[in-house]
Amino acid sequence: MKKLNPLIFLILLFALGCASPEDKKGRFLLKGNEKLKENDSKSAIELYTEAIKIDPEFTDALYNRGLVYQRLFRLDEAIADYGRILASNPKHRDALFQRGLAFMDNGEYYKALGDANEMVKSYSENWESHFLLGLVNEQMKNHREALDSFEKGLRLQPENTDLLVNKATILYYLKQYKEAVDILEKAEKINPSESNLYNLRSMIAFDEKKYQEALDWVEKAIQINSGEPYFYNNRGLYSLFLGNLDKGIEDINFSLKQDSKNLFALRNKGIYYTKKGQKELALSYLNDVYQKDPDMDLVREYLAIAQTL
């Protein structure tokens, strides 16, 4: 990541010296946006922060800084920025949506649910309101409620691939594989570059014990989006079931480096140690996952196998 040259930063400060506060904060915002386009997140945050020092309620800078924090998984800071916007404008749609997502990713599901319900109440004709409510209910394993939300969103935007893929995801959880595949095929025709649909195809194939097909699908997802850690975790799982343990654990560990709290990756690591015959390590991982999510697929099965080693 490139650092903002201190000399350039000083020159910028000097150039802004004679400008009005309104001009200064606007220029810091624009410079921050430029750095963001260059993928220089650190400098973008610094510049947005300078704008916020001039005007602590500068909505655009708070929102953009919140987005950068969110991308960096600095969720508490993102939530704080969105909260500052909502303190002065409680119905700011974009801040509500993003804070709801950040709460959800932070495991604060009831707070996310509050933002989602507020969006549906205030913006019922906006598909994102139903999308957010569906996502939160999905995380809370309220699958029927999530399905209802995604269907409401689809009535507003029938060809929205985010909604289609998430509806298919709920059908996958409900073991309605054919219906899920039908929706994914429709989504692929609309947007063949949507990586999540191929990942979900891989998960369906895996559940049907078509392990090579599952690997082929997730490889396609990774080709489109090589930065998604969950795809690597799935590829690792499929490699384990195809007998390639070294490749499998490499992908699982890579995924855990990106998100150390991913229970599916921790479960997969337990499965790896079970297949390696390393009882203590297998039980350590699988028991931890079982205590947090006893209904997760494969956990009971491999916990039982590990106990017999």
DSSP per residue over 191-224, as a string? -TT-HHHHHHHHHHHHHTT-HHHHHHHHHHHHHH
Mean pLDDT for 192-210 is 96
Please identify which residue in the block is written with the tokens 């080693």: 309
Question: Is 133 a domain residue?
Answer: yes
For residue 240, give its domain range: 233-309
In this structure, the answer to whether residues 263 and 293 fall within a common structural domain is yes
Per the structure, how many domains does the chain have? 3
Amino acid occupying residue 105: D
Confidence of residue 15 (pLDDT cuts 50, 70, 90): low
Beta-carbon contacts of residue 192 (< 8 Å; ≥ 6 apart): none
The residue from 220, 252, 275 where one domain ends is 220
In this structure, the answer to whether residues 206 and 294 fall within a common structural domain is no
Contact 166, 196 (CB under 8 A): no
Question: Is 167 a domain residue?
Answer: yes
Question: Is 270 a domain residue?
Answer: yes
**pLDDT higher than threshold 60 for residue 59:** yes
Confidence of residue 184 (pLDDT cuts 50, 70, 90): very high
Contact 219, 236 (CB under 8 A): no
* CATH code, 15: 1.25.40.10
pLDDT digits over 128-182, tens only? 999 999 999 999 999 999 999 999 999 999 999 999 999 999 999 999 999 999 9
The pLDDT > 90 percentage for the chain reads 79
In this structure, the answer to whether residues 308 and 215 fall within a common structural domain is no
Secondary structure letter of residue 3 according to DSSP: P
In this structure, the answer to whether residues 137 and 215 fall within a common structural domain is yes
Cα 223 to Cα 60: distance, rounded to the nearest angstrom: 34
Confidence of residue 26 (pLDDT cuts 50, 70, 90): confident
Query: At CA 63, angle to CA 155 and CA 83, rounded to 5?
Result: 90
pLDDT at 32: 83
Contact 274, 252 (CB under 8 A): no
In this structure, the answer to whether residues 216 and 282 fall within a common structural domain is no
Cα 94 to Cα 82: distance, rounded to the nearest angstrom: 9
Confidence of residue 301 (pLDDT cuts 50, 70, 90): very high
Question: Is 89 a domain residue?
Answer: no
pLDDT digits over 232-280, tens only? 999 999 999 999 999 999 999 999 998 888 899 999 999 999 999 999 9
pLDDT digits over 74-89, tens only? 999 999 999 999 999 9
pLDDT at 35: 85
**pLDDT higher than threshold 90 for residue 1:** no
